[in-house]
């Protein structure tokens, strides 16, 4: 426990000077990423000691297993370091160009971490869901760690949509669904009640284009950037910034948004 409190103290002291003292162009090393990651989930993460992330519910997760992984291997068996390895591009760091091969920031997830955050099975996740008003309907979202409150803020920001925005927002693809990702054994973010799909009819998805894992031929998107920015403002990432694109998909990831904002402040480091 003493080691843990030392690590916690270190993380806190790293967090404080970030905005003021870190020079433009400095890299965002793992220690800095961990401090930002931890600060996004203060009620869930107790701290880290040596190479282990310690959750308040007692879950312990390896931070870096030391293995060199291909992208496919990282998706299948992610540690925390893998999960934070790609920086989600925000603001001036996002050009709108098709993402580079296998650049999927946020798609690499550690299941144990998400189970600790939102519930280990469908019943546990469901127990902490609440309805969030969404135009003329409501959707179920996890209330844990500020997710449902953040979605409510997105709905407020988009409450007077243009005609082009409205067609993506009036009909949804869904939110909570305990399921594996198509073609894999990995749990989808929808399993944890923290993802929302806008209208699939107007969206594009890498598998629908005939892509295969690691080989996606043609990036396409029709989702207006104003919708993307409204979600990002409140802690959500967008699947349209992935090489394996999923343009209907938005997912509550305040950790990756915090790291992305810091990267932008430092001059778009990676």
Q: Which residues bind Zn ion (CB under 5 A)?
A: 195, 197, 249
Nearer to Zn ion, 132 or 195 (CB): 195
Nearer to Zn ion, 94 or 236 (CB): 236
Residue nearest Zn ion, Cβ-based: 249
Nearer to Zn ion, 115 or 249 (CB): 249
In the complex, minimum distance from the CB of residue 249 to Zn ion, in angstroms, rounded to a whole number = 3
Residues whose CB is less than 8 angstroms from the CB of residue 258 and which lie 6 or more positions away in sequence, other chains included: 36, 37, 39, 40
Give the distance, in angstroms, between the CA of residue 117 and the centroid of all CA atoms in the same chain. 13
Q: What is the DSSP letter of 101?
A: T
Give the distance, in angstroms, between the CA of residue 242 and the centroid of all CA atoms in the same chain. 12
In the complex, minimum distance from the CB of residue 129 to Zn ion, in angstroms, rounded to a whole number = 16
Nearest to 206 by CA among 239, 157, 167, 179: 239
The two structure tokens encoding residue 79 = 């540690």
Nearer to Zn ion, 55 or 195 (CB): 195
In the complex, minimum distance from the CB of residue 251 to Zn ion, in angstroms, rounded to a whole number = 7
Nearer to Zn ion, 15 or 178 (CB): 178
Alpha helices in the chain (DSSP H): 2-15, 18-21, 30-40, 71-76, 80-83, 111-118, 122-127, 147-157, 163-169, 225-233, 254-265
In the complex, minimum distance from the CB of residue 5 to Zn ion, in angstroms, rounded to a whole number = 39
In the complex, minimum distance from the CB of residue 240 to Zn ion, in angstroms, rounded to a whole number = 11
């Amino acid at each position: 426990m003493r080691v843990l409190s030392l690590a916690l103290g270190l993380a806190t002291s790293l967090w404080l000077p970030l905005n003021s003292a870190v020079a433009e162009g400095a890299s965002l090393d793992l220690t800095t990423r961990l401090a930002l990651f931890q600060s996004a989930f203060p009620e869930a993460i107790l701290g880290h000691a040596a190479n282990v992330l310690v959750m308040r519910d007692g879950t312990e997760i390896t931070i870096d297993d030391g293995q060199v992984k291909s992208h496919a291997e990282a998706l299948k068996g992610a540690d925390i370091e893998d999960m934070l390895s790609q920086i989600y591009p925000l603001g001036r760091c996002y050009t709108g160009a098709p993402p580079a091969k296998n650049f999927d920031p946020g798609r690499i997830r550690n299941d144990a971490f998400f189970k600790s955050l939102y519930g280990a099975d469908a019943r546990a996740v469901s127990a902490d869901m609440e309805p969030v008003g969404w135009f003329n309907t409501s959707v179920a979202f996890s209330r844990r760690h500020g997710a449902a409150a953040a979605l409510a803020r997105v709905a407020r920001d988009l409450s007077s949509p243009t005609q082009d925005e409205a067609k993506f927002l009036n009909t949804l693809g869904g939110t909570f669904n305990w399921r594996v990702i198509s073609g894999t054994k990995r749990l989808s973010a929808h399993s944890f009640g923290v993802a929302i799909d806008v209208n699939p009819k107007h969206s594009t998805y890498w598998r629908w284009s005939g892509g295969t894992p690691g080989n996606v031929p043609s990036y396409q998107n029709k989702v207006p950037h104003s919708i993307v920015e409204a979600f990002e403002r409140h802690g959500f990432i967008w699947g349209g910034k992935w090489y394996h694109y999923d343009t209907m998909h938005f997912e509550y990831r305040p950790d990756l948004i915090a790291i992305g904002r810091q990267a932008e402040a430092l001059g778009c480091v990676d």
